[in-house]
A = this chain, B = another copy of it.
Amino acid sequence: MSLFYQPEVSNGVLFLDEEESRHCIKVLRYKTGDTIQVQDGRGNIFSVRLTSAHQKKCEFEVIDTEFQQPPPYYIHVGIAPTKNLDRIEWFVEKTVEIGVQEISFISCKNSERKVLKLDRLERKALSAMKQSQHRYMPKLNELRSFNELTTKITETDKYIAHVDFDNPVGLARSAKAGGKYCVLIGPEGDFTSEEVEYALQNGFKKVSLGSSRLRTETAGIVACHTLNLINDA
């Protein structure tokens, strides 16, 4: 059964937006009186009955609600977006499938991309959430400076990934299950030594993601998967 999306059901918004309405009524041909399922990306799945099967604004009433607790860990990946947009989109799709709670885009000294629009990425994330049957929509944050992100995050288990650290500890060894993680992934030209130093001063630990030299988006996926694996015992 299809799962539709309306993030504000709990706040009394009892209709689908235009795109979801069209899909529900025009493509899947649901009619007034039919029951569908709506998720809010905040842990709830609502069984709802259509009260107005309008293809631009499909209205419903809630019959039943099922809530799922969020996972007992929190994965936040901070990543310098690549020049090629496809690679960022692919990163978002894959980390959402695998499981991520928050993604921040960082503007670094060596960043190849200083501007980033979130709307396409939000759509990718939504589609991946539905596809992978996750209940929680990850939070995507606008591009911020490295220093701003590094000082403002609230997670307690903070890591900065880098290929060329001396004697690095692997993320899989350093992180413990049940953590509130934030992992920073640098641009193709890597973090500068000043950026690394600044992160260390702000409580980040240096970690390695293994012996392979990974592209930015691959490093982000590998970090996200490693943290999921630690918790998926």
Cα A8 to Cα B94 with chains together (Å): 37
Q: Which of B97, B132, B133, B225 contacts A225 (CB 8 A)?
A: B225
Could you tell me if A172 and B218 are in contact, using CB atoms closer than 8 angstroms? Answer: no
Chain A contacts with B in 136-176, Cβ cutoff 8 A: 170, 172-173
Give the interface segment out of A20-28, A58-66, A107-115, A208-216: A208-216
Could you tell me if A132 and B210 are in contact, using CB atoms closer than 8 angstroms? Answer: no
Chain A contacts with B in 177-233, Cβ cutoff 8 A: 210-215, 218, 221-222, 225-226, 228-229, 232-233
Q: How large is the interface on A (under 10, 10 to 19, 20 to 34, 35 or more residues)?
A: 20 to 34
Cα A226 to Cα B204 with chains together (Å): 25
Chain A contacts with B in 97-129, Cβ cutoff 8 A: 97-99
User: What residues of B have a CB within 8 angstroms of the CB of A226 in the complex?
Assistant: 225, 229
User: What residues of B have a CB within 8 angstroms of the CB of A52 in the complex?
Assistant: none
Residue A30, interface by CB 8 Å: no
Cα A222 to Cα B212 with chains together (Å): 15
Binding site for B on A (CB under 8 A): 90, 94, 97-99, 131-134, 170, 172-173, 210-215, 218, 221-222, 225-226, 228-229, 232-233
Q: List 18 A-B contacts (CB under 8 A).
A: A90-B90, A94-B218, A97-B214, A98-B210, A98-B218, A131-B213, A132-B212, A132-B213, A132-B215, A133-B212, A170-B233, A172-B229, A173-B233, A210-B228, A210-B229, A210-B232, A211-B232, A225-B225
